[in-house]
Structure 1
Amino acid sequence: MDVPKVSDEQQLDVVRAVKDITFGSIAGMVAKVFEHPFDLCKVRLQSQVLDETPRFNGPIDCLYKTWKYEGFRGLYRGLPPPVVGAAAENAVLFLTYNNIRRSLAWMDPSPINDPSKMPLSHTLIAAGGAGAVTSFVSSGSAGLPLPTVQMSSLPGPIEILRSITRTEGIRGLWLGHTGTLIRETGGGVAWFGIKELVARSLVARHAPNKETSSAEPHLKSWESALAGACAGVGYTVLLFPADYRGELRPRAPPKYAESTPPKSTFTGVFKEIYRTRGLKGLYAGCGVTVCRSAPSSALIFLVYDALEKHFGQQ
């Protein structure tokens, strides 16, 4: 039986996919190790929004008390699942983003049909699509939430995963997907869009006479980092209310909770917070999130662009 031949274009597509997955995974893991203490702090601050007596007075107090009572290990408590999740999320994000961009470039009848010279509108479409697809990975990883209290007496991630699937089924791993879908879709547009706009502005400063529609191939390392930092800040400020994890709180596995409150929805939690705490409640923990998202996004794009620059063209 004849074995179908693989065309050069198909081989190139496979190589591109492997590189997108590899580069995205590495960038995501590096950034997650850096940002984990800040993300832990954000989740703990959000979890106390509806409490009568908050445990923490702010992000600095939260980080200080975590360090004081739980030590260095406390700041990195529960790190392995988020690192694995970050690798998967960024792999899917960059893979989907680049594939959609290439597809739009292929279908574009205009003379500009190269993904590296794509109009900004196509970049935004690809970013939104990539964010929507990635939301299913992000929401799944949210099934293993970060600890809001000291975890020394609680089970590990594997046991929690088993408990969630046993009591809620596979669907339980995607609890809170409404907010995640909104966050990742809109956030993808904001994240890639702002990065692209800032990058183009930076490139135009040192290459004013060169016509370019995409900045990545021309970016210096510090420019990738700066553009990524701006993207992280914009993404956080615009989409932060959709990132609230309170929807997860009422659905803790009964085995590890003293009681099981009624189920709540993303919209219900959103309205309750706004009614009781206003806009300030919706942005609880936003400050510390901005402090970690700026350098974290800078790291992601710095690492990804550097890998793409050194290995992407080989």
Structure 2
Amino acid sequence: MDFWPEFLASSWGREFVAGGFGGIAGVISGYPLDTLRVMQQQSISGSALKIFRNIIVNDGPAGLFRGMTAPLASVTFQNAAVFQIYAVLSRAFNSSSQSKIGDPPSYKAVAFAGVGTGALQSLILSPVELVKIRLQLQSSSHAISSSSSSSSSSSSHRGPLSVAKSIYKTEGLRGIYKGLTITILRDAPAHGIYFWTYECMREQFHPGCRKTSQESVGTMLVAGGLAGVASWVFCYPLDVLKTRIQGQTKSSSRKYNGIVDCLSKSVREEGYRVLWRGLGTAVARAFVVNGAIFAAYEITLRCLFSNGSNHTQQYDCPNLSQSQSPKKK
């Protein structure tokens, strides 16, 4: 029973918990937009507004949150692992000969740490996103071009565990990790841009805050939002291909034999614009989600450090009614 108090008293324990809270805030705030993005990427036609109306009419508001259990159930560990791995790698890549004790990691170290973090977290994220995408696409409401409203199949509205078991039964372990390669190709460079942009933007908006941690909550939200937008714009074509690869089942009308085949068929059938379909929705979601993630992470981390008595660095828990978060002692 002494494990959790000791764990939370350590820097690793606090960073892990703060990362979990950040991930939860991100999933809840941006999931409806994520559902619209996935359906736009998979469909042949249909605007975000048309898809939104179709979901509300057929499934009600709950349809926008279908499949959220899978990422929400795993997000505490996944996002906590991301921030923890990033913290470790950013220190490892930082040149000790060029920095003083207490200085934040260099921007170069931040970028390299982000790339490594993105590659490693794909091992966790790929199966979770596979189940999420299957759940989001299984509803008949995403078939926008079809005016017929056929009855739902027996497999409709299954939970994430049921979908995961079905994938494993029909496709094996390889099926569970379908799309892993393209997930790594998407997330490794995207995370490098993600963390680099956040560190640059927070310093730009509030000079010196990387050392003092004095930035306001507004700075966290905007810097985090811009970091998310930058990373999504960079990796979006790969995300479209990933959605299509992971969304296909044995009964799918379209079959792709790998990344190159998916790219070739998608462009040949729908033009190069298909690679950017749903970008507007993704950008809007990215700003909301990643602003929430970084703000929740930073605030939780500082609150946890303010309650610690045996760590060398102490933080004051920020008062959200104030425009500025307090200094690090």
- TM-score, normalised via structure 2 length: 0.79
1:222-233 alignment, distance < 5 Å: 222-233=218-229
**1-side partners of 2:47 and 2:263: how far apart?**
21
**2-side partners of 1:68 and 1:215: how far apart?**
51
**1-side partners of 2:299 and 2:84: how far apart?**
17
Q: Does 1:112 align with 2:112?
A: no
The answer to whether the 8 Å contact 2:91/2:105 transfers is no
Q: Percent identity?
A: 21
Look up the match of 1:218: 214
Q: Secondary structure at the match of 1:30?
A: helix
**2-side partners of 1:86 and 1:150: how far apart?**
23
Following TM superposition, by how much is the alpha carbon of 1:63 offset from its aligned partner in structure 2, in angstroms? 1.1
Following TM superposition, by how much is the alpha carbon of 1:124 offset from its aligned partner in structure 2, in angstroms? 0.7
Look up the match of 1:157: 160
Q: Does 1:33 align with 2:21?
A: no
Following TM superposition, by how much is the alpha carbon of 1:260 offset from its aligned partner in structure 2, in angstroms? 7.5
Give the unaligned 5+ runs of structure 2: 1-5, 141-151, 309-329
**1-side partners of 2:218 and 2:254: how far apart?**
49
Residues 12 and 32 of structure 1: CA distance in aligned 2, closer, same or farther (over 3 Å)? closer
Look up the match of 1:201: 204
**2-side partners of 1:46 and 1:167: how far apart?**
25
The answer to whether the 8 Å contact 2:220/2:291 transfers is yes
Following TM superposition, by how much is the alpha carbon of 1:263 offset from its aligned partner in structure 2, in angstroms? 4.9
Of 157-166 and 298-307, the range deviating more from structure 2: 157-166
Amino acid aligned to 1:86 = V
Look up the match of 1:139: 126
1:164-183 alignment, distance < 5 Å: 164-183=167-186
- Alpha-carbon displacement from aligned partner over 1:123-176 (angstroms, at most 9, x marks no partner): 111111111111111112123124224276423321221121122222222111
**2-side partners of 1:166 and 1:14: how far apart?**
43
Following TM superposition, by how much is the alpha carbon of 1:216 offset from its aligned partner in structure 2, in angstroms? 7.3
Of 233-242 and 156-165, the range deviating more from structure 2: 156-165
Q: Does 1:87 align with 2:76?
A: yes
The answer to whether the 8 Å contact 1:216/1:305 transfers is no
Following TM superposition, by how much is the alpha carbon of 1:16 offset from its aligned partner in structure 2, in angstroms? 2.0
Q: Does 1:190 align with 2:193?
A: yes
Q: Does 1:72 align with 2:61?
A: yes
Amino acid aligned to 2:125 = S
**1-side partners of 2:126 and 2:212: how far apart?**
29
- Alpha-carbon displacement from aligned partner over 1:27-68 (angstroms, at most 9, x marks no partner): 11121112111111111111114xxxx3xx211111121112
Q: Which one of the candidate residues 305, 314, 321 is aligned to 1:312?
A: 305
Give the unaligned 5+ runs of structure 1: 1-10, 205-211
- Alpha-carbon displacement from aligned partner over 1:108-129 (angstroms, at most 9, x marks no partner): 2234344x52211111111111
Q: Does 1:294 align with 2:287?
A: yes
Q: Which one of the candidate residues 274, 283, 301 is aligned to 1:281?
A: 274
Q: Secondary structure at the match of 1:175?
A: coil
**1-side partners of 2:24 and 2:181: how far apart?**
25
Residues 138 and 223 of structure 1: CA distance in aligned 2, closer, same or farther (over 3 Å)? same
- TM-score, normalised via structure 1 length: 0.83
**2-side partners of 1:277 and 1:113: how far apart?**
54
Q: Secondary structure at the match of 1:118?
A: coil
Q: Which runs of 4+ in 1 moved over 6 A?
A: 11-14
Q: Does 1:148 align with 2:137?
A: yes
Q: Which one of the candidate residues 13, 16, 21 is aligned to 2:16?
A: 21
Amino acid aligned to 1:190 = I
